Structure 1
Amino acid sequence: MTKVLIVLTNTTRYYGTTDATGLWLGEATEFAEEMHQADIAVDYMSPLGGFVPLDPRGMKYVDEAIMSWYETEDFQKRALCNSLTPNAINPKDYAAIYFAGGHGVMWDFPENADLQKITLAIADNGGWLTSVCHGIAGLLNVKDAAGKYLVAGKKITGFTTAEEVLAGKKKVVPFLNETLARQHGANFQKKRAYSEFAVEDGHLITGQNPFSARAVAKKLINELL
């Protein structure tokens, strides 16, 4: 059976503050639901394994579909309470990796060597590298064996600087996805703030913001099936 690895954050707060953050719920549930409907299995992993916190701001943008998936025993146990650790993962088991967002990932995705190793292994096996919103932070620093950034020369997207300004978080995040993407040679694409947008280039599929998770999922499904 085809399987996809979903990566979630363990970060509970914006560093240096007491403001809570974590996973943007819909970015995980909407993607997972699309995979389920296509009969594609998923596993959930986080940098530390175990507990995955939810970004409280993301709970303001839920609908019936998001809540229904959130309330399932499977999601609560496997994603939010007992996410897998990187050392439990065999990259050969996965046709794709998907980095979900929420501001928390800005701290525990970018420099995590274990995540980078798994990502590169999936890429080397001909797999797909996908993300949505801030999840692009999990791909921006990954280099191939020759030391070249995987995003270099590729069309990608993620949470934009304009969206960061509108979210009121530009001054508290450790870097800006749009800026770092361009610094690493990516051809950063974007559309109107907070509108659905996903871009595919080679084996990279990325979505701009929380409203793009299903678009990323559908592009990936089209390639896997």
Structure 2
Amino acid sequence: MNILMVLTSHDQLGDTGKKTGFWLEEFAAPYYVFKDAGAKITLASPKGGQPPLDPSSDTEDAQTDDTRRFKSDEAAQQQLANTAKLSTITDDGFDAIFYPGGHGPLWDLAEDGDSRTLIESFAASDRPIGAVCHAPAVFRDPSNADGSPLVSGKKVTGFTNTEEEAVGLTDVVPFLVEDMLIENGGEYRKGDDWASFVVVDGKLVTGQNPASSAEAARKLLELL
């Protein structure tokens, strides 16, 4: 079982002068769900190499068993430091694709043509696609074969407007995940803020926030 995980390469939080990137738990939790299930994991990002880590996800209060495991796992750290360049990746040989969040994807992966092509290929061949927290931003541009937005008519979730408000970034982000999914015709669902909430519709798996990361990865595996 081969799973492709796609991370952001974007590290600027709008024009705040602060750093962003991927959210550590949203990478580490799914990574170990897949790894412990025996999957072969390939990591990619638009620029390749080491993806930027959102410093807010690296604070003591943001740590989980999975992030602590990652911090003592040199092989995983090496793999993360050497992500493949997304433009060199085709969908060939992969059984599923998964996008960890963090605010970074709102800027780069949401607009990335290579990512869009991959998502459309996985959807057309009915292979599982997963994204958690801010990563459903990657569904902004991909379309179905008939030209309709990929999420149109599908049950989806993603970081809520109220969660974005709670972290004070409503006016910083280029768009709000919840609003975009609704505008694209998605049947947006949400649970309580910060609690695990995952939606599965066909082969599309979306998680609402960092707490949903492991569950989203498990649901993706169930589809394989």
Task: State the TM-score, normalized to the length of structure 1.
Answer: 0.95
Give the corresponding residue for 2:75.
74
Q: Partners of 1:6 and 1:74 in 2: how far apart?
A: 16
Give the corresponding residue for 2:200.
200
| Counterpart contact for 2:124–2:145, Cα < 8 Å | no
- 47-56 vs 139-148, greater mean Cα deviation: 139-148
Q: Any idea what SS the aligned residue of 1:127 has?
A: coil
Give the corresponding residue for 1:7.
6
Give the corresponding residue for 1:134.
134
Q: Any idea what SS the aligned residue of 1:91 has?
A: coil
Q: Deviations over 1:102-133 (max 9, x none)?
A: 01111001111110001111222221111000
| Counterpart contact for 2:46–2:87, Cα < 8 Å | no
Identity %: 34
**Structure 1 segments (4+ residues) deviating >4 Å:** none
Call closer, same or farther: CA 1:110–1:65 in 2, change over 3 Å.
closer
Shift in Å, 1:63: 2.2
1:97 aligns with 2:92: no
1:58 aligns with 2:72: no
Give the corresponding residue for 1:212.
212
Shift in Å, 1:77: 1.9
Q: Any idea what SS the aligned residue of 1:92 has?
A: coil
Q: Any idea what SS the aligned residue of 2:92 has?
A: helix
Q: Any idea what SS the aligned residue of 1:93 has?
A: coil
Q: Partners of 1:178 and 1:123 in 2: how far apart?
A: 21
Gap regions ≥5 residues in structure 2: none
Over aligned residues, Cα RMSD in angstroms? Answer: 1.2
Task: State the TM-score, normalized to the length of structure 2.
Answer: 0.95
Shift in Å, 1:73: 2.3
Q: Deviations over 1:153-209 (max 9, x none)?
A: 000000000000001111100000110111100000001100000010011000000
Residue identity in the other structure for 1:142 = P
Q: Deviations over 1:46-88 (max 9, x none)?
A: 1121121111111231123312223322222222x21111232
| Counterpart contact for 2:155–2:186, Cα < 8 Å | yes
Aligned length: 222
Gap regions ≥5 residues in structure 1: none
| Counterpart contact for 1:127–1:203, Cα < 8 Å | yes
Q: Deviations over 1:2-53 (max 9, x none)?
A: 1111111111111212111111001011001001111111111111211211
